[in-house]
Amino acid sequence: MLSDEILAKYEMTVGIECHVQLATTTKLFSGADNDARDKSPNSVVSPIDFGLPGMLPVLNRGAVDLAIKAGKALNSQMAHVSRFDRKHYFYPDLPKGYQTTQMYQPIIGPGIIKVPLEDGGAIKVRIHHAHMEEDAGKLTHNGSYSLVDLNRAGTPLIEIVSEPDIHSAAEAKAYATELYHLMTYAGVTNGDLYHGNMRFDVNVSVALRGSNELGTRTETKNLNSFKSVEKAAEYEFRRQIELIERGEKVTQETRGWDDAKQKTSSQRSKEDAQDYRYMPDADIPPIVLTDEEIAAIQAEVSILPNEWREVLQPLKLNYLQTEMLLDIENEYRGKIKFLDSIKDYINSGNLERAKFFTNWQINVFIPLLRDESFKLGQVDYLQVERVIHELLSANKLSSTNAKILFKELIGLNELPDIEQYATDKGYIQVSDEGAIIAIVEAVLNDPASAKAVDDLKNGNEKVIGFLVGQVMKKSQGKANPGLAQKLIRERVL
């Protein structure tokens, strides 16, 4: 068991390589379907993906465009000329005997991203480069034999390689999360982590604090969740310290992550570049891009996460609230779009309405979306929110009834007259002072309220809530609680 004192002697250094599946319709070098989810094995494969003799690759221009958009999200320099290389190794799920990648002249050059942290701070992580490449197939191991599925072979990827600027497991998780936000907001990938649209290889090394040299690194491959990135980095940090403290050496190797056991295990020794016998791919011409071409494609990228955080700053949200808004709009993209409305209210100077809409998403709408039993209808939920805001501002709705009304309306496929619907359902609260006076006086004269009335006269302000609650109960939730409290005070104090 490592003590805090021993852990404090060492510093973790992390670099992350992230494979991002590009959201193209077809594969990188063939016309086969790029979406292999729920497809039968080897059903979305072309002769090019099988590596049959005489088959020549044709580069997917859409994949190039998405790589250019990724370059903007990474604040990276784009290469005017980039080339493909062959990375040779034998594996059953790679029938060509080599992977087509970009070893020497990648399409995306150095960049930098700002990564927000839960404590309100931020780190900057430099991007070394990002290159385009094709994915391999998938092997399923069954005891004495293995099955090969080439549906994924030829899938277009970019591999984003960070500099070793990360120094804790929490920072590693935050970086992976921000990379996901950037790639999905830029439209580069669908971001389906379950199906491996983004996979993280986490390189961890350990050295004494203050040392000018990095320790020997290990690479834990193919992590597909932010939590596993964090846990794998933390496990490797402790494992390597234990080795060093025992006087043993850390071996440079590739390791795998066992999510059930929450530990890494050795898979193979780490290869060097010369082991792959890289050579230029003579079948694929170089990619040549002009500044005008790059600018035109990058202009199609919508607002990115850090820009949204700047937009939302006047609302003074905390980290979790901001990230919740970004997560939900991203998760439900194509169905949910409320950030633009909040931005419009902020830009028009209507901070009160912007805060209402923001708080409504966080406290009402998002919990509904995450409720598996709730089914979202086809009505304009933004219109429902606008009308509910008007009814609340006019004291026609209580906050409780507003939430009930909202849930009912956004589950519909056709929107009725909202105020009339609320009236018919009995949700509109009574603000007729004469009608509420009668209820208030009935409550105050009720023997069950006698003690609360005496307590209020003696300065116990807490009992006012009980008395208002009795008014709401007698009015079946229709009385205006603010008016009810005012009338109670006038009669008791």
Do 288 and 307 lie in one domain? The reply is: no
In a domain, 255, yes or no: yes
Q: Is residue 400 part of a domain?
A: no
Report the chain's mean pLDDT, rounded to a whole number: 92
Q: Inform me whether the pLDDT recorded for 344 exceeds 80.
A: yes
**Ramachandran angles phi, psi of 27, nearest 5°:** -75, 180
Residues 64 and 98 in one domain: yes
DSSP string spanning 129-142? EEEEEE---EEEEE
pLDDT at 258 (0 to 100): 93
Please tell me what DSSP assigns to residue 455. H
In a domain, 422, yes or no: no
Residue 307 and residue 281 share a domain:
no
pLDDT of 273: 59
Q: Residues 269, 312: one domain?
A: no
State whether 313 and 361 are in the same domain.
yes
Last residue of a domain, one of 273, 292, 311: 292
Q: Does residue 218 sit in the same domain as residue 141?
A: yes
Residue 331 and residue 194 share a domain: no
**Of the listed ranges 124-133, 159-168, 480-489, the one predicted with least confidence:** 480-489
Residue 260 domain-assigned (yes or no) = yes
The residue segments making up the domain with residue 250 are 4-292
Give domain status of residue 41, yes or no: yes
Instruction: Give the pLDDT of residue 109.
Output: 98
Domain total for the chain?
3
Q: What per-residue string of b and e applies to 261-282 under the rule 16 or more CB within 10 Å gives b?
A: eeebeeeeebeeeeebebeebe
> Is residue 397, in this structure, part of any structural domain at all?
no
Is position 403 within any domain? no
Please state the rounded mean pLDDT for residues 482-493. 81
pLDDT value at residue 353:
93
Note the pTM of the prediction, 2 decimals: 0.87
pLDDT digits (tens, 9 = 90+) for 29-75: 999 999 988 899 999 999 999 889 999 999 999 999 999 999 999 99
Cβ contacts of 333 within 8 Å, gap of 6 or more: 184
Q: Please tell me whether residues 140 and 201 are part of one structural domain.
A: yes
Looking up residue 474, the CATH number of its domain turns out to be: 1.10.10.410
3-state SS string over 401-436? HHHHHHHHHCCCCCCCCHHHHHHHCCCECECCHHHH
Given a cut of 90, whether residue 268 has pLDDT beyond it is: no
pLDDT per residue over 177-217, tens digit each? Answer: 999 999 999 999 999 999 899 999 999 999 999 898 999 99
Q: Considering 260, 292, 324, which residue would you say is the last residue of a domain? A: 292
Q: What is the mean predicted confidence (pLDDT) over 94-119? A: 95
Point out the domain boundary residue: 262, 292, 322.
292
Cβ-based neighbours of 19, under 8 Å, separated by 6 or more: 135, 157, 158, 159, 198, 199, 200, 201
> Is 340 in the same domain as 444?
no
Biggest alpha carbon–alpha carbon distance for the chain: 96
If asked whether residues 333 and 458 sit together in one domain, one would say: no
User: Are 270 and 310 part of one and the same domain?
Assistant: no
Residue 393: inside a domain:
no
pLDDT for 2 equals 84
346 and 443 in a single domain? The answer is: no
